[in-house]
């Protein structure tokens, strides 16, 4: 995870949910500053021991998804590394990638392997999540982690995903653009023509014309469209 984020002594790192601090200690040994955000205050004694050892560790007890953690970072350059809880991985991702807020330059997360596969996909099997992430940066699977690596052993395998070179999405109205993508994926087995016509409440003839203008076959399904094709389609629909 540290290698995937290219961490060095100039980096400020936010760690989500440090737990007992296994990753935290490694981060503190490499980074300039580590801001660890932990929701479970009962872990304070263990984390305090690490803070006593590393003066560059700052511990905040709170919910990462509900308070302004960005205000803790001076300047605009920071990275996020974390082993995140499976059940709130979607919420954490949405919290990180907020177009109205400053963004990290790199994000490295360990999460459920099935979720990671929805982020890093094949060209003809894309997802809403893969399109979202690629709007911001370049995702790649760093490593698969067997469930037997954990105690207690969970029911599913994990994987480490790195999202690098993060920047603001190059679209003028992110909410509208992403709304079109979600409408396109509303029923994966249906064609892009059917989903857009139904979701945008426009007749199929008009929808077919819009797709034709964007040079997209109306019989295709949303999972086969590239991000560039979505951007082209957005220019005709907006």
Per residue in 94-142, pLDDT tens?
A: 999 999 999 999 999 999 999 999 999 999 999 999 999 999 999 999 9
Instruction: Work out the percent of the chain whose per-residue pLDDT is above 70.
Output: 100
Q: Does the structure show a pLDDT above 90 at 186?
A: yes
Q: Does the structure show a pLDDT above 90 at 182?
A: yes
pLDDT, the chain, mean = 95
Res. 184 pLDDT band, cuts 50 70 90: very high
| Domains of the chain, first to last | 12-164 (3.40.50.150), 174-237 (1.10.8.100)
User: CA 235, CA 157: separation in Å to the nearest integer?
Assistant: 40
pLDDT of residue 160: 97
pLDDT of residue 75: 82
Q: In sequence order, which ranges of 31-145 are alpha helices (DSSP H)?
A: 44-53, 89-96, 113-119, 128-136
pTM over 0.85? The answer is: yes
pLDDT of residue 15: 98
Look-up of token digits 């037997």: 148
| 128-163: b (≥16 Cβ within 10 Å) or e | bbbbbbbbbbebeebeebeeeeeeeeeeebbbbbbb
């Amino acid at each position: 995870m540290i290698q995937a984020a290219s961490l060095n002594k100039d980096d400020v790192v936010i760690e989500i949910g440090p737990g007992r601090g296994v990753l935290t200690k490694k981060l503190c040994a490499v980074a300039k500053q580590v801001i660890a955000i932990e929701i479970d205050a009962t872990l304070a004694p263990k984390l305090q021991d690490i803070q006593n050892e590393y003066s560059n560790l700052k511990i905040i007890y709170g919910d990462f998804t509900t308070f302004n953690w960005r205000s803790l970072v001076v300047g605009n350059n920071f990275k996020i590394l974390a082993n995140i809880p499976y059940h709130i991985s979607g919420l954490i991702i949405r919290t990180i990638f907020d177009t109205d807020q400053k963004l990290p330059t790199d994000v490295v997360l360990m999460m459920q392997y099935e979720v990671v596969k929805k982020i890093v996909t094949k060209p003809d099997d894309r997802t809403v999540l893969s399109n979202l992430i690629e709007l911001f940066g370049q995702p790649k699977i760093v490593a698969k982690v067997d469930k037997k690596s954990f105690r207690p052993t969970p029911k599913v395998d994990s994987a480490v995903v790195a999202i690098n070179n993060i920047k603001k999405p190059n679209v003028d109205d992110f909410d509208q653009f992403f709304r079109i993508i979600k409408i396109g994926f509303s029923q994966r087995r249906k064609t892009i023509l059917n989903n857009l016509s139904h979701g945008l409440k426009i007749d199929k003839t008009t929808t077919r014309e819009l797709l034709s203008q964007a040079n997209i076959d109306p019989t295709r399904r949303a999972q086969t469209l590239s991000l560039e094709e979505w951007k082209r389609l957005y220019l005709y629909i907006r």
